Structure 1
Amino acid sequence: MTGAGVRLVRVQWAPLMALAVLTLVSALLAVALPARMAAGYDRSAAAAAGPGADVRVEGRAADFAATTSVPSQDALVSHGLTWQQMMPSSLRGVTGQPEASATSDRMGIEGRFSRPRLLYLGWDVGAWERVRVVAGTPAHSFDLRPGEDLRVMVSKTYADRLGYKVGDRITAGGAPAGTTLRVQITGLYQPVNAADPYWTPRARILRPTRETVGDRMDALEADAGTALIDEAAYARVARTPGRYFTFSWRYPVLPGAISAAGAREVAGDMDAFRSAVQGRTGIFPNAVVTALDDRLDAFAGQLRAAESVLGLVLGGLVAVAAGVLLLAAGLLGERLRPVLWTMRARGASLRQLALPAGGLTALAAVPSAALGYAAGRLLDAGPPQTSSNYAVAVPVAAVLAVSAVMVLRERDAGVGSSSGRRDDLVSARPSRRRFVLDALLVALAVIGVVLLRQRGETAGTDPLIAAVPVLLGAALAVLVLRAYPYLLRAAGPFLRRRRGAVAFIGIARASRQTVVGALPLVVLLLAATVAGFTATVDTALQAGQERASWAEVGADARLEAGPMDDTALARIRGLPGVTGAVRARVITEVTTESNTAPMTVVGVDLGAYRDLAPGVPGIPGSASGALASPLAARTMGPGDATLSRAGMDPIRITAPAVIEHFPGQLPGSAYVVVPYKDVAGATGFPSQVFVSGHDLDAKKLSAAAPGRAVELRQDVLRTMTDVPIVSVVRDTFRDGSLIGGAFGLLAVLLVLVVGARTRGRTVAHLRALGLSRRQSRGLALVEIAPVLLCAVGAGWVLGLLLPEITGPVVDLRPYTGGHAVTAHVPSLPALLGLLGALLLAAAAAVAVDRAFDARPGTVLRTGDQ
């Protein structure tokens, strides 16, 4: 670099350093933020699969079909490898080695016990390898003679809890009907490693578990356990006609193997694997049993929603960062303009001007961008994203383009600069070209909104559509810039009549800002739009999840109880923390005289229920008669209908109001809500109890009534809020608000610092005319106030309206259990944050004014007036 170049760098070190630092920070965030989001998506995909996720191929066979298809352990293992080879590559890549087993149908143990007992026989190859015998001998039946009892092993925990020991004989009955099976316990075992994930789906092999026997009305809990048998015992039992075994080849999902990108492929390939399994010949019929594809399909919906919403946020942040960089480059150009004008006036060509203009800009932007990109990669926030390359390259290219504009502006050899024509916002006359560009920008924003709403929830993955908030913000900024001069002109005469001169001088100085000086207005508007949008959607998400928890449970807690009387209801109301309880009687299999389709009748006192749980949405506040779900209304048809079934008095229904949802009833099912007095005489039917209160204990609630399940609203809400991808969305909302606000404040601070010396000289002249230090601080606030209020106000309003404008893109139902989210208002912390940002900007103006305060004697020279 020549001596002249070094001197130029020294003179312009402030804007150069500002441009370099802003470029570095922007590049760092452009790499780290998308990578962090991608890592969060991958963690969410792994969590959506669940720690106990697996893919199982199961079939049921007995007698000849079982012993022919699976005659030995080698055959059992071989089938598992065959199923694995039939898997699509995506599914095979995320699952482990097959775990083969065969388990008999459950059998009831004969005898008198405090609770019924159930026994399963399990031929589990992997279990034999993961246990050690602690008493007796292994259960080998290869030398078993005809008529001898079958040899089995049970876990020591099972034997200790149920009172068994080595040598005990057990008689079990079950299928085939009228036959019994006698087994002898030859050994007790313990797991080599009880924490081995292998035991998670096989808890019944290690300890007695509770299972329900009987029908819904007469259900009983039983102690169930699985006794291990060997290959010879399996062959003997399987040859018994009607003695069925369930054959299972389990493929555990490897921890962390499913990524967000692979989740869609795995879920889609599951159907192909199902078809392949069902179409295999040479073995009894088998089917794929798994919840993995359903979980991944649910995750896919959540991922689409996150990509759509966060795509809008990232697009806005990129625009804000690019605006700040363009502002820094523009201010550098303003500082270089006298130098370039002088060079041009002395005969320099445009090519010669390109070296100082483009060289300085490139010196500040290119190395900083490379350093920021490298720092972002070194942070290792997540897998690198291709979008980060564009987010770094495009703003840097735009900054370099500014230097070209700086050179082209001097093609008239400074004639335009010497004409004395003002180019500030108030006096400048927009050209026809600018009018056409402004109209084109507004049209693009409108077209983008139309396309966005047509494409729906998948639009956020399209970069062009994701740029719609930026287009809207830019279009609004154009309109604000059009109206901004008129507002300043209108304020001038009004302030001129006031006694103080500070407000008038401040507005006059604000109106003298050039077009480059007005760029902070655009940046602040976009930053406020991002902050308003994230604050609004985040608040809507929280409110929607709260609303959904009320809709799901129906109160602070809901008990699914059996038949209960007033005494049981009184016990519930007397529990600690309970402030109220309302009983609902549930009668299923109800029909009308003209339609035998079954419906459910829910008898509840709606008045008392509304008082108990006013937060439940969708419950009419004025209905005095019956309420019917859409399916029930269609089933009953127009006109009156009579509901009846055995055990209840007929209920006459007249023109019921339609209700979309009632707590405790499945969406889309047929149910009718009637006053409780209509079913008060029907006894022996199950009940639901809606409970309000605080610090509710599920165990105490279950013990107070003959209930089978207790659902707490806080648990349901926690299930919605603790979903990992919800944390990713909310964290990105928070980061987006903070980053956008920080860039907006940096834009304000940049303009203040770069223009501080020129402003200090002007203020020094005013100080010589009698302006006090206090008035100088007030002047700083008045100068910045129009830009702050216009930009932040317009951007904030656009951010609040953006969820409604984008329509189906901001679809938060995957995070609220399918319940629509409609309330889009900012929270109090968001409003306080907005006020705090405005105060920080005002404080920055005062601080810069104080830092660059100069005495008139040190600024004014002889001859100055």
Structure 2
Amino acid sequence: MRGSAMRLARAQWAPLVALAVLSLLSALLAVAVPSRTAAGYDRAAAAAIGPAADLRVDGKASGSRAWAALPSDAALATNTVTWQQLLPRSLAEVAGDPEPSVTTERLPVPGRFSAPRLLYLGWDPGSWSRVRVVAGGPAVNPPAETRDDIRVMVSAKFAGQLGYKVGDRMDLGGLAVRISGLYEPLNAADPFWTPRPGQLHAVKVDLGGDAGQADAGTALMDAGGYTRVARESDTQFTFSWRFPIRGGDVDAGDAGAMAGDLGAFRSAVQGRAGFVPCVVVTALDDRLTEFAGRLHTARSVLGLAFGGLAAVAAGVLLLAAGLLGERLRPVLGTMRARGASLRQLAAPACGLTALAVLPSALLGYLAGRLLDAGPPQPVSLYAIAALAVAALLVPAAMVWRERGGGLGPVADRRDDLVAGRPSTRRLVLDVLLVALALIGVVLLRERGASAGTDPLVAAVPVLLGAALGVIVLRAYPYLLRAAVPALRRRSGAVGFLGLARAARQNLVGALPLVVLLLAATVAGFTATVDTALRDGQVRASWSEIGGDARIEAGPLDDAALARIRSLPGVTGALPARVITYVSTSSDPAPMTVVGVDLDAYRELAPAVPGIPSHSGVYLSPLAARTMGTGAVTLNRPGMSPIDVKPAGQIEHLPGQEPGTAFVVVPYKLIAGEKGFASQVFVTGHPDVKDLRAAAPGRDVLLRQDALRAMTDVPMVIVVHETFRDGALIGGAFGLLAVLLVLVVGARARAGTVAHLRALGLSRRQSRGLALVEIAPVLLCAVGAGWVLGLLLPEITGPVVDLRPYTDGFAVTAHVPGWPALLGLVGALLLAAAVAVAVDRLFDARPGTVLRTGE
């Protein structure tokens, strides 16, 4: 028995090797692809958190109330421990050591200066340990001292910028402070200083409204200085405990947990009694919310691609196992006719398949882990197990087919696609599959984006592909039958013979059609969504900037505009006048008036979406709710009143924040207004330095920078790379399916071709015959699958929502670009080349195949 099994294995070495190689590749990819994607999610989470993220607990109190709440170093340390203990586990694992500090409100510095000056007084124990005194002495305030000036230290750079020196005295509204020393940081690059720039140098602070900016800085004092300020004045203090977040330690799972725990921590902080009311201040909420939206979209969209890839891999394995079963079918039939039981048939059939699949799957799993593409994913084990079970079920089905004893009409019946008669059971299964696919689409669209990573999302493309494959298999014989009569009337025999051989393929031989269809569906879907994402980001960059560049200028004269237009590379420049704090006589709510020539703007930058097709007065949605639809007068101090009548609404205008109140009017209505800000929309590719030089002191925003900010996001990179890899892997599996069928059936085909060669078929006609045999499967499968892939974004609807990657800009489905179409044509040509190469490799002379008398 053992010897017969070995002989059987040697006789079937080709399909066994093919099955083993495909099992290894499938297991390897089942490990590497999800792990690599998960690693990309983790990198995206770390980037979303950022290197300078923090979490602060802030409380405010004034004067004696502040001192009563926090009277000493011990009280500061006690509260530090309290807040640290309240941190939920997900936050505590990524939070650094707490950094407590106490800072006064901003205090005006009296005197005549080029710009107003403000000073903050800070008690920051962490700063004291990170500086060295370079002039004077440390700011030490003995507890018993109550009459002398409060001693403070400032940085040497701050003193040099604003002209201070050791011994200078400042009267801060009843608080007399004296600079006792100057310091320098031990390490200016220490991340500790990132949220404390005022302790190292002077910073600019907005005073609000039209008051301009002030020079501000922070002076360090000790605990004694804090005590004196609290007890001798009503100055307001901000108590702050900063927890730096180590963004590099955050993965995608941590980010999800942190989002939920932030709310719990905020409630715990606000509910704490016995201290001044405190709140949690952090940018993590917005960052985690944005990351969660991007992660949800990525998992939803990539889940569709992964589901298709898994189906393609399963199809190729089933194909290999089916071809092995077909090769074993005569042997099993003979054994069954000689009295072997089904269990005895299962030993060689299932045993050979298991020998090829199980060790290879294990090696593939180990190789995937050795690649260390990312953290291991449980789904990898489930996928490998499912693929192995599917492959082992094929020989079991082959054994079950021999339950009739290998005799009777079942053994003699033709089961090729053209002559075969589908059973009632198969018809019911086909109808059930189509109905299940339709139900899945309806449920998916009803659930919309909330479907998320539900298995239904990943199953819908597979169900649609399988249903379409069933339909194509039903139509395939009729297409062949319709083509044969036309070819029969032609003088050449290659076309007729090729289609006749294609029609004689049985269901296992036609399985490549379904595999290729699924592979083409994955490639079409990924190419379509990838193109849609790229195009959507480009449109979003135009919508944000309004041109290739936008200059945010102050009052702009004609000479400056002429300089901009004369720059090399500038193809157009259009000014817009921006007047803020405008209101109507009936409603004092402020809004912004933007004067721009819309006709000229559409001609200058036609790629900017949402610009009205006619000139006139247009209101943002918020301004429309304020002004209504009737004629109104717009005015403000320093501006001549203008009467306008709205012609419609405009959702967005470059340079204006979404959701704000603004009015777009023809430029000529406010062209004469002087002293107001301007914008210049520029098209072309000018040198950035020249553009900044032509508009000195003005902010220049580039569309390429806005586009780069969207495309260089780690999550977007993960999506693009996964789409690219998915298309390549799907195409590679499709070509493997073609190669497998050609190689496994090459020897039998060589015998048939040898007979035809004896009848006069030339070598060149033999190559043409190989192409004609494979052409129907390739064209039907790839064509149907590609069309389904193009339609999938529309079919799945709200699941493929790419707005988190385009700054909220809506993305519509697009036709794939030229690279994808060229790749499709290249794959078809490569498949044809493989068919010709296999025909040449297994070419047999008639004298070596035919026997005497044939």
Q: TM-score range by the shorter chain?
A: over 0.9
* Residues 1:652 and 1:116: Cα distance change in structure 2 (over 3 Å): closer
* Residues 1:170 and 1:575: Cα distance change in structure 2 (over 3 Å): farther
1:610 aligns with 2:609: no
How far does residue 557 in structure 1 lie from its aligned partner after superposition?
Answer: 1.9
Q: What does residue 38 of structure 1 align with?
A: 38
1:693 aligns with 2:707: no
* Cα distance per residue 1:244-296 (max 9 Å; x no partner): 22221101112333221222221222223223222323222222111101110
Amino acid paired to 2:128:
W
Q: What does residue 414 of structure 1 align with?
A: 406
How far does residue 636 in structure 1 lie from its aligned partner after superposition?
Answer: 2.3
Residues of 2 paired with 1:460 and 1:119: CA distance? 51
Amino acid paired to 2:602:
R
Q: 2:220 aligns with which of 206, 228, 231?
A: 228
Q: What does residue 489 of structure 2 align with?
A: 497
SS in 2 for 1:242: coil
Q: What does residue 335 of structure 1 align with?
A: 327
CA contact (8 A) 1:102 1:245 kept: yes
CA contact (8 A) 1:266 1:293 kept: no
How far does residue 713 in structure 1 lie from its aligned partner after superposition?
Answer: 1.3
Q: What does residue 678 of structure 1 align with?
A: 669
Amino acid paired to 1:730:
H
Amino acid paired to 1:723:
V
How far does residue 143 in structure 1 lie from its aligned partner after superposition?
Answer: 7.0
Residues of 1 paired with 2:368 and 2:176: CA distance? 68
Amino acid paired to 1:638:
T
Gaps of 5+ in 2: none
How far does residue 766 in structure 1 lie from its aligned partner after superposition?
Answer: 1.1
SS in 1 for 2:71: coil
1:193 aligns with 2:187: yes
For structure 1, which segment, 91-100 or 752-761, has the greater mean C-alpha deviation from structure 2 after superposition? 91-100
CA contact (8 A) 2:54 2:243 kept: yes
Residues of 2 paired with 1:850 and 1:545: CA distance? 48
- The 5-angstrom pairing of residues 817-836 of structure 1 reads 817-836=807-826
Residues of 2 paired with 1:717 and 1:675: CA distance? 29
CA contact (8 A) 2:519 2:785 kept: yes
Q: What does residue 768 of structure 1 align with?
A: 758
How far does residue 687 in structure 1 lie from its aligned partner after superposition?
Answer: 2.1
* Cα distance per residue 1:546-590 (max 9 Å; x no partner): 100111111122233333332333343344543332221222333
Amino acid paired to 2:104:
S
TM-score (norm 2): 0.96
How far does residue 462 in structure 1 lie from its aligned partner after superposition?
Answer: 1.0
Residues of 1 paired with 2:178 and 2:190: CA distance? 28
SS in 2 for 1:102: strand
How far does residue 342 in structure 1 lie from its aligned partner after superposition?
Answer: 0.8
1:718 aligns with 2:708: yes
- The 5-angstrom pairing of residues 531-570 of structure 1 reads 531-570=523-562
Amino acid paired to 1:757:
R
* Residues 1:408 and 1:162: Cα distance change in structure 2 (over 3 Å): same
For structure 1, which segment, 573-582 or 681-690, has the greater mean C-alpha deviation from structure 2 after superposition? 573-582
Residues of 1 paired with 2:266 and 2:327: CA distance? 69
How far does residue 354 in structure 1 lie from its aligned partner after superposition?
Answer: 0.6
1:169 aligns with 2:168: yes
SS in 2 for 1:410: helix
Residues of 1 paired with 2:533 and 2:87: CA distance? 39
CA contact (8 A) 2:573 2:680 kept: yes
Residues of 2 paired with 1:417 and 1:555: CA distance? 75
For structure 1, which segment, 150-159 or 736-745, has the greater mean C-alpha deviation from structure 2 after superposition? 150-159
Q: What does residue 503 of structure 2 align with?
A: 511
* Residues 1:765 and 1:540: Cα distance change in structure 2 (over 3 Å): same
Amino acid paired to 1:8:
L
How far does residue 859 in structure 1 lie from its aligned partner after superposition?
Answer: 1.0
Q: What does residue 470 of structure 1 align with?
A: 462
SS in 2 for 1:256: helix
Residues of 1 paired with 2:243 and 2:408: CA distance? 77
How far does residue 688 in structure 1 lie from its aligned partner after superposition?
Answer: 2.1
Q: What does residue 210 of structure 2 align with?
A: 217
Amino acid paired to 1:171:
M
Residues of 1 paired with 2:581 and 2:218: CA distance? 36
Q: What does residue 788 of structure 1 align with?
A: 778
How far does residue 145 in structure 1 lie from its aligned partner after superposition?
Answer: 4.6
How far does residue 326 in structure 1 lie from its aligned partner after superposition?
Answer: 0.1
1:454 aligns with 2:436: no
1:133 aligns with 2:130: no
For structure 1, which segment, 577-586 or 811-820, has the greater mean C-alpha deviation from structure 2 after superposition? 577-586
* Residues 1:190 and 1:594: Cα distance change in structure 2 (over 3 Å): closer
* Cα distance per residue 1:33-83 (max 9 Å; x no partner): 111111111111111111111011112222101111111122122212212
* Cα distance per residue 1:670-718 (max 9 Å; x no partner): 22211011112333322222222314427953872553x3322111111
- The 5-angstrom pairing of residues 332-481 of structure 1 reads 332-416=324-408, 420-481=412-473
Residues of 2 paired with 1:605 and 1:383: CA distance? 55
Residues of 1 paired with 2:401 and 2:303: CA distance? 36
CA contact (8 A) 1:649 1:681 kept: no
Residues of 1 paired with 2:341 and 2:30: CA distance? 37
* Residues 1:125 and 1:576: Cα distance change in structure 2 (over 3 Å): farther
CA contact (8 A) 2:597 2:615 kept: no
- The 5-angstrom pairing of residues 49-60 of structure 1 reads 49-60=49-60
For structure 1, which segment, 9-18 or 410-419, has the greater mean C-alpha deviation from structure 2 after superposition? 410-419
Aligned residues: 854
Cα RMSD over matched residues? 2.0
SS in 1 for 2:195: helix
CA contact (8 A) 1:543 1:823 kept: no
For structure 1, which segment, 86-95 or 125-134, has the greater mean C-alpha deviation from structure 2 after superposition? 86-95
Amino acid paired to 1:448:
G
SS in 2 for 1:58: strand
* Residues 1:724 and 1:224: Cα distance change in structure 2 (over 3 Å): same
TM-score (norm 1): 0.95
SS in 2 for 1:283: coil
Amino acid paired to 1:39:
A
1:183 aligns with 2:173: no
How far does residue 180 in structure 1 lie from its aligned partner after superposition?
Answer: 5.5
Residues of 2 paired with 1:218 and 1:570: CA distance? 31
For structure 1, which segment, 664-673 or 733-742, has the greater mean C-alpha deviation from structure 2 after superposition? 664-673
Q: What does residue 202 of structure 2 align with?
A: 208
How far does residue 443 in structure 1 lie from its aligned partner after superposition?
Answer: 0.3
Q: What does residue 13 of structure 1 align with?
A: 13
* Residues 1:59 and 1:463: Cα distance change in structure 2 (over 3 Å): same
- The 5-angstrom pairing of residues 56-135 of structure 1 reads 56-135=56-135
How far does residue 119 in structure 1 lie from its aligned partner after superposition?
Answer: 2.7
CA contact (8 A) 2:53 2:247 kept: no
Residues of 2 paired with 1:246 and 1:389: CA distance? 53
Amino acid paired to 2:419:
S
* Cα distance per residue 1:647-687 (max 9 Å; x no partner): 33333333422211111222222222110111123333222
How far does residue 146 in structure 1 lie from its aligned partner after superposition?
Answer: 4.5
CA contact (8 A) 2:418 2:503 kept: yes
Residues of 1 paired with 2:206 and 2:351: CA distance? 83
How far does residue 17 in structure 1 lie from its aligned partner after superposition?
Answer: 0.7
CA contact (8 A) 1:572 1:701 kept: no
CA contact (8 A) 1:698 1:712 kept: no
Residues of 1 paired with 2:99 and 2:36: CA distance? 36
How far does residue 110 in structure 1 lie from its aligned partner after superposition?
Answer: 4.5
How far does residue 608 in structure 1 lie from its aligned partner after superposition?
Answer: 1.9
SS in 2 for 1:377: helix
Residues of 2 paired with 1:822 and 1:426: CA distance? 41
CA contact (8 A) 2:547 2:682 kept: yes
CA contact (8 A) 2:51 2:248 kept: no
Gaps of 5+ in 1: none
Residues of 2 paired with 1:575 and 1:816: CA distance? 31
CA contact (8 A) 1:590 1:598 kept: yes
How far does residue 619 in structure 1 lie from its aligned partner after superposition?
Answer: 0.6
Amino acid paired to 1:185:
S
Amino acid paired to 1:540:
A
Q: 2:655 aligns with which of 664, 678, 702?
A: 664
Amino acid paired to 1:644:
N
- The 5-angstrom pairing of residues 246-285 of structure 1 reads 246-285=238-277
How far does residue 161 in structure 1 lie from its aligned partner after superposition?
Answer: 4.2
Residues of 2 paired with 1:832 and 1:575: CA distance? 39
For structure 1, which segment, 648-657 or 233-242, has the greater mean C-alpha deviation from structure 2 after superposition? 648-657
SS in 2 for 1:854: coil
Amino acid paired to 1:80:
T
